[in-house]
Amino acid sequence: MSSRSPSDQIRFVQLTPPGLGCSIAVGKGLIDTVPGSFRGVQLMVDDIEVAYNHLRDRGVDVSDVQDFPWGRFVFFSDPGGNGWAVQQLPRRP
């Protein structure tokens, strides 16, 4: 994780899981939306139970694990009111 503040109008934190080349950046001045209006971001995990416990143990108000034919999910909102989904894909036969 790294935090940057290149100007008074832009401040962000970049999250990059170890060993991956894909990042998520959150902060001020990155996109032109009202705080709390960002919805539907999905993060993929290998084990939804591990992700659920990790979030819950850190005080995140996370939903119970929900099972759907297209995967297992937990949902939460960040302090800015933005909505997040964490998904584990179904196992392939």
Average pLDDT, the chain: 84
| Whole-number CA gyration radius for the chain | 15
Lookup result for tokens 């949902």: 75
What are the tens digits of pLDDT across the range 58-92? 999 999 999 998 899 999 998 888 889 999 988 77
Give the model's pLDDT for residue 9: 79
Question: φ, ψ for residue 31 (rounded to 5)?
Answer: -135, 160
Residue 15 in this model has a pLDDT that exceeds 60: yes
Instruction: Tell whether 49 and 86 lie within a shared domain.
Output: yes
Instruction: Tell whether 43 and 25 lie within a shared domain.
Output: no
Write down the pTM of the prediction. 0.68
From CA 89, how far away is CA 93, in angstroms rounded? Answer: 12
Residue 63, SS3?
coil
Residue 85: which of 35, 47, 45, 54 has the closest Cα?
A: 45
Q: What is the CATH number of the domain that holds 82?
A: 3.10.180.10
Give me the mean pLDDT over the 20-29 stretch. 74
Instruction: Tell whether 43 and 87 lie within a shared domain.
Output: yes
Give me the mean pLDDT over the 24-40 stretch. 76
